[in-house]
Amino acid sequence: MNTLKPRILLVEDTPEIALWLGTALRQGGMEVTFATDGLQADVCLQAGHGMDAVLLDLQLPGQDGLAVLQALRARGDTVPVLILTARASVPDRVLGLNMGADDYLPKPFDLSELEARLQVLLRRQGKSKVASLRSGPLEMEPDSAAVWVHGQPLALTKREAAALRVLLESPQRAVSKEHLHAQVFADDSAGLEAVEVLIYRLRKKLETAEPLAEGASGVAITTFRGLGYMLTPVAAQV
């Protein structure tokens, strides 16, 4: 067993969803254990389980997810729990969080957002595999492409994340449109204009990321004519 990999318990009774998530998490460098009902999950989470985080569905056969969560916290176990459920109402979210969940993601969800939220939980536990790439308040986990700004997850498509990684790996240096195209669209027939569209979308997402504190600095993608694109700091608003 590779103990350097974060260990995730995925509690999901729908086989298709479990397979999809399990495959994605393993590709992201994590070790995944599956539980298909609440009773099995409770057994997996007994003392000494060694899990680094739990992805917990609420609507489970045998014993529902809230009961699993309640029993876990009653044992004094503080392992991070991210709830995944179709119950998207505010009272349900509040109930889950009040019972000890660390985060809540309603179905259907974007895989990149799930990965970003999970990496935030793992980072709090010191379980991220490698040092993150940084530019001001912007961070990326290289092994999973999870991204957050001001400590909050930022949902990106795979190509947006790939482009952002190229920019983060070239600090204080402009990256040409041609290089971005080669890195992001290598297996695609898209032209150079696709890079402009991609950067536009990525720039907008960075602009709308809200700082947690008033006066916090930001980060933006700046275009340098004839040279390319570069991540640059944005001064705090006074």
pLDDT(96) > 80: no
CA dist 208 to 112, 152, 154, Å? 17, 12, 10
pLDDT of residue 209: 79
pLDDT at 3: 43
pLDDT score for 53: 95
pLDDT of amino acid 9: 97
Where residue 89 falls among pLDDT bands split at 50, 70, 90?
Answer: low
9-14: average pLDDT:
95
- Give residue-wise pLDDT tens across range 123-156: 777 655 455 788 888 888 776 678 888 778 888 9
pTM for the model stands at 0.56
Average pLDDT, the chain: 84
Give percent of the chain with pLDDT exceeding 90: 42
Predicted pLDDT of residue 1 = 32
Q: What confidence category does residue 87 fall into, taking pLDDT thresholds of 50, 70 and 90? A: low
Range with lowest mean pLDDT among 49-53, 92-96, 130-134:
130-134
